[in-house]
Chain A
């Protein structure tokens, strides 16, 4: 089973919560699909047991030897990526339209490595993760690969926890489609609420079972209530309210998952939330 943790807005606590949940389950496999800011592995002294390259982009390359400077390529490029027979790699989307119009066959597409993909073995199971080349396309295909890698290491009914990225675009869509359930981590702020609404619509659009939790709910209890009401009206299962707790900062500083801090209020709330998730999943599977 795959549980994807996303948030819409960044910095609401996805990684903290994804990590905590994975620690509460025996043999959970983790996939860090927040490839722009992959922070999950920072918590572990892991060993990379497999490494491969991911080629996620193609770029047009003009061979000067054959180019006559006729500028047909420039005229046909929809992305303004060619000027005076030079390709701007940041603008080129690798569509190859220029190749089709070049009378001298001077243009070809070159594949570009956009990420190193790792399987990391830790003392708490496998992490499927990637290190993207800075500035590369945050491609959905890379996310698909990370999920498929995680699946290879998840025996039978083992839980796969996916730490997703912020936003509602391509990487998020790729991390929720086909997932068994999504957990949206939001925060009681106006930004959190508005982003929550959008990301929830996205989940609905793709028809995935959606849970929600409010992190640091007591920062603004009025906003938290607005989020609760919204969930109720829209049939989203609100399965957890996690209080603001300084121990969370401490746990990030000490790089130790929050579930190991006995007295922590956040820890207790996250454990309670996990029980709720299990109950719902059981109920939904009936």
Chain B
């Protein structure tokens, strides 16, 4: 079976935490469904890193929400000192600064807040302000801590929000609900993960995108397993692939219209006895493979 060995675990910040990332490649396979329902069943904290479209709180409805703004740096030009030499614009790798005949223009949404412009300015004409690009929220669901990041609409860069969210994770086990895809948003989340659950669905799309996700978690050397969601009995392409690749299948969740309806109204599918049982089995499976202090 795919190595679930503890010594392979990755770069989680500090002791006393076990961070498991839930990712999928393809969107809409059920990352949030698996993360929220597993949190409730296992007593793990829930961390929503899909900051572009964070949906976990719809289902968990945490209480006592605390909020914190996420700010990024941007350069401010003191025009009384600026000689329009244009060095700042030249050094900017992100084309966020443009020198015009009259002034230095900032395209703030392209700015990564790296301070390179400030370093090259000989006149010390640049200082740095802060602007808000999103919010971190933290609340409680029973004993569970629920956190999420929210990217403001119109902001292109989600990574600073994700990094801030993952900086101060609670101790204990954290389930990290990732963004879809396999690019920077997911990579930023995986940097804090000790293991991963890949959620997929039995279709050629699901399989194609699962392969990309497998490649990604393998490049991080993370122990991982697969959950097949929306399963129908006719299609076993995911099982065939996992067997060939020696990947552990942690669980299979059948497709039922009833479950889709429960989900659609923002409720937890573990409210249905059949699904509660399935999630308990998945939790059992996870406990076997992780040294996990679950309730």
- Which positions in A face B, CB cutoff 8 Å? 7-12, 15, 35-37, 39, 42, 58, 76, 78-79, 90-91, 93-97, 100-101, 109, 132, 134-138, 140, 165-170, 172-173, 187-192, 194-195, 198, 201-202, 205-206, 219-220, 222-223, 249, 252-253, 255
Stretch of B148-156, B244-252, B285-293 contacting A (4+ beta carbons < 8 Å): B148-156
Say yes or no: is B16 at the interface (Cβ < 8 Å to chain A). Answer: no
Give the docked Cα–Cα distance between A202 and B151 (Å).
12
Contact B153 A168 (CB under 8 A): yes
Q: Contact check, A168 vs B52: say whether CB atoms are below 8 A apart.
A: yes
> Residue on B with the closest CB to A13?
B28
B278 proximal to A (CB < 8 A): no
B9 at the interface (CB under 8 A from A): no
* CB neighbours of A97 from chain B (8 A): 114-116, 119
Task: Say whether B212 contacts A220, CB under 8 Å.
Answer: no
Q: State in angstroms the CA–CA spacing of A97 and B219 once bound together.
A: 27
Known: A8-B53, A190-B266, A220-B261. A169 touches B156 (CB 8 A): yes
Which of A9, A78, A169, A249 touches B28 (beta carbons < 8 Å)? A9
A136 / chain B contacts, CB cutoff of 8 Å = 183-184
Determine how close the nearest CB of chain A comes to the CB of B127; give it in whole angstroms.
15
Instruction: Name the one of A78, A168, A189 contacting B53, with C-beta atoms under 8 angstroms.
Output: A168
Let me know if B184 and A137 touch, CB within 8 A: yes
Question: Given contacts A36-B25, A195-B55, are A135 and B216 in contact (CB under 8 A)?
Answer: yes
Residue-by-residue, is B112-155 near A (CB-CB < 8 Å gives 1, otherwise 0)?
11111001100000000000000000000000000000010111
B180 contacts the other chain (Cβ, under 8 Å)?
Answer: yes
In the bound complex, residues from chain B placing their C-beta under 8 Å from that of A206 are: 154
Cross-chain contact A165 with B181 (CB below 8 angstroms)? yes
Other-chain contact of A11, B27, B156, B232 (Cβ < 8 Å): B27
Considering the complex, give the chain A residue whose CB is closest to the CB of B204. Answer: A42
Q: Which residues of B contact A168 (CB under 8 A)?
A: 52-53, 151, 153
The residues of B that contact A58 with a CB separation of less than 8 Å are: 93
Specify the chain B residue showing the minimal Cβ separation from A255: B204
- CB contacts (< 8 Å) of A253 on chain B: these are 203-204, 235
CA distance A266 to B99 in the complex (A): 53
A113 to chain B, nearest CB (A): 14
With A10-B26, A78-B73, A220-B265 as given contacts, are A173 and B156 in contact (CB-CB < 8 Å)? yes
- Report chain B residues within 8 Å CB of A91: 191
CB atoms of A169 and B185 under 8 A apart: yes
A37 to B50 Cα, complex, angstroms: 16
Is B261's CB under 8 angstroms from A78's CB? no
Given A11-B26, A219-B261, A198 contacting B153 (CB threshold 8 A): yes
What CA separation (Å) do A109 and B265 show in the bound complex? 50
Q: List 17 additional contacts besides A36-B209, A134-B219, A170-B157; criterion CB under 8 Å.
A: A9-B53, A12-B28, A39-B209, A76-B119, A90-B187, A95-B93, A95-B94, A96-B93, A132-B183, A138-B181, A166-B53, A167-B180, A168-B52, A169-B151, A189-B266, A202-B153, A219-B257
Q: Does B63 touch A at the CB level, under 8 Å? A: no
Q: From B151, B208, B257, B266, give the contact of A39 (CB < 8 A).
A: B208
User: Complex: how many Å from CA A100 to CA B119?
Assistant: 7
The 10 closest A-B pairs by CB, nearest first: A11-B28, A10-B27, A36-B181, A95-B114, A138-B183, A190-B266, A167-B52, A189-B264, A170-B156, A220-B264
Would B52 and A39 count as touching, CB distance under 8 A? Answer: no
Which residues does chain A contribute within 8 Å of B73, judged by CB atoms?
A: 78
**Is B42 an interface residue, CB under 8 A from the partner?**
no
30 contacts between A and B (CB under 8 A): A9-B27, A10-B27, A11-B29, A36-B183, A37-B25, A37-B27, A37-B180, A39-B26, A78-B114, A90-B188, A95-B94, A95-B114, A96-B93, A134-B212, A135-B186, A140-B156, A166-B27, A169-B52, A170-B157, A189-B264, A190-B55, A191-B32, A194-B55, A202-B154, A205-B154, A219-B261, A223-B264, A223-B265, A252-B203, A252-B205
Check if B226 is an interface residue, CB within 8 A of chain A. no
Cβ-defined contact, B158 with A169, below 8 A = yes
How distant is A252 from chain B, measured CB to nearest CB, in Å?
5
